[in-house]
Amino acid sequence: MLTRMMRFGLMTVVMMLAVAWTPAWGQRPVVAVGGILHESNSFHSVKTRLEDFRRPSAATAAATLDLWADNLDEIAGYVQGGRKAGLELVPAIAARATPSGPVTDAALDALTGELIAKLKAAPKLDGILLALHGAMVTESFPHGDAEIVRRVRAAMGETIPLVVTHDFHANVSPEIVKQTTVLLTYKTCPHIDQKERGLQAAEIMGRIARGEVKPVQALVKPGMLYNIRYQYTSVAPLRPIYDEELRLEKEPGVLAVSVSGGYQYADVPAMGASVIVATDGNKAQAEGIAKKLSDMLWATRDQLKLNVPEPAEAVRKAMASAKSPVVLVEMGDNIGGGSAGDATFLLSELMRQKAKGWSVSVAAAVAVAMAVKAGVGARFDGLVGGKTDKMHGEPVRVRGVVKTIYDGKFRETEIRHGGQRYYDQGLSAVVEVEGSTRDEGSYVLLTTKRMVPFSLHQLISAGILPERQKILVVKAAVAFRAAYEPVAGEIIEVDTPGATAINPQRFVWKRVRADLFGMRP
């Protein structure tokens, strides 16, 4: 609660703001909601085009808001929180694409153009709630999110309240902090608090629009690449920092405290961890909290060593493990981090060591077509994976029997990383690999599109029961844990090459700060 002194202090601020932002008496503040989200991997050769973005909408504004609210992400939080805060909401656009290579200039222009057109067409706005990932790289702009905000500001004015939410993997720059009224990031990785952050952003927007608070922000960056291997907020070293973040956010006068891990596959000047703090008019308080949390991040440096086995050793360990299932994490092909989804380093090693009872999914549209042509029950003999580029291994010859063909759609009802409910990996097939027995079936799940392993229903819907397998390969880093930890007997992270290799020395860097801690493991 606010102290008497602070209440007194606030009154002056409220009066100042009343002129600028409080809507006329009896009118509800009008706030636009929307988002353009992409995490762009500088090292992935496949560009992200306009048609790669999913843009759900319905026939009317009210129906679009209802559609967006039926989700577990931050935009659902904006809608639900905005309604609760008594805001009149106007839907702009909500566009998302699976992480991949940089976004084309044409896609950036089209999406930002449509966003701004919707904002301009709305009744006079009292604020904008905007979801941006924070690690978008485009062909021309290393910091795509800052460019979107710059264009929105240029079109809508420098003073309209603009509350932006970012992913935990945002690479936050001083320029975007300066352009936003409040900027907050997800606090968790795996990201299970997206909707909560959306609700928080809407609540803050309500208070700004009614002239109750006047936010100021501070950004402190600890000068480190916080390796993705350690970006897990449920355990040390990040857990104590997460707990402190929650505690500090409850201090009087604090609006939002955000610790973000950063995204290490974007070769941009702002790459790395960040702390952003928004307070009600108290710059010194914001700076003090940001500095404190940044120092806590910096102090964990000696806990961030990379000691992860390579494929041969990892598969040996998994085969020898008494626990089951063992999850092998193919970190160099982390689909959620923007890689190809068709790496074959673990698939080939499992076959070479004649492991049994495993499953691997591979984005392989051509192999799906072969399986479909052969039909269920027919023999399959074809090359799988290693097709996108030279970074993700050689195609592997897979022989077996086509077990399942299905539409590749599945649904997640629990809160998992990403807050997504409905998934579609395109036409898919399961090949039961030669050497499988009744008790120990080995499966390759072939998908038309790349699919992030954030839901066990990806396997269950394909007829693979995770608990019955000895080894499950996931192409991921940390995000899969929300879904897989409840069933995993053991988790073994594997150091594989690829567009999301965890060792930064596997890449050639051009724009990143040379003195960043963590660039050399």
Binding site for Zn ion (CB under 5 A): 167, 169
**Minimum CB distance to Zn ion smaller for 169 or for 470:** 169
Q: Rounded to an integer, what distance in angstroms lies between the CA atom of residue 145 and that of residue 37?
A: 9
Distances (CA, A) of 15 to 11, 134, 213, 216: 6, 34, 10, 17
Q: What residue has token string 């954030």? A: 454
Torsion of the alpha carbons at 47, 109, 67 and 196, rounded to the nearest 10: 80
**Minimum CB distance to Zn ion smaller for 432 or for 493:** 493
Nearest approach, Cβ of residue 191 and Zn ion (Å): 6
Nearest approach, Cβ of residue 169 and Zn ion (Å): 4
**Minimum CB distance to Zn ion smaller for 167 or for 342:** 167
Nearest approach, Cβ of residue 516 and Zn ion (Å): 19
Q: Where are the beta strands (DSSP E) in 350-489?
A: 358-363, 379-384, 396-406, 409-411, 422-424, 428-433, 443-447, 471-474
**Minimum CB distance to Zn ion smaller for 144 or for 215:** 144
**Minimum CB distance to Zn ion smaller for 210 or for 417:** 417
**Minimum CB distance to Zn ion smaller for 442 or for 500:** 500
Q: 3-state DSSP call for residue 327?
A: strand
Helix intervals (H) in 235-282:
238-249
**H-run or E-run covering 61:** helix 61-69
Q: Where are the beta strands (DSSP E) in 144-253?
A: 162-166, 182-185, 215-220
Nearest approach, Cβ of residue 43 and Zn ion (Å): 17
**Minimum CB distance to Zn ion smaller for 167 or for 196:** 167
With contact defined as beta carbons under 8 Å apart, do 400 and 431 qualify?
yes
Q: Rounded to an integer, what distance in angstroms lies between the CA atom of residue 166 and that of residue 367?
A: 37
Nearest approach, Cβ of residue 133 and Zn ion (Å): 7
Nearest approach, Cβ of residue 349 and Zn ion (Å): 28
Residues 6 or more apart in contact with residue 438 via CB below 8 angstroms: none
Closest residue to Zn ion using C-beta atoms:
169
Give the number of C-alpha atoms closer than 13 A to the C-alpha of residue 333, restricted to the C-beta side: 31
Nearest approach, Cβ of residue 337 and Zn ion (Å): 8
Nearest approach, Cβ of residue 32 and Zn ion (Å): 24
**Minimum CB distance to Zn ion smaller for 297 or for 405:** 297
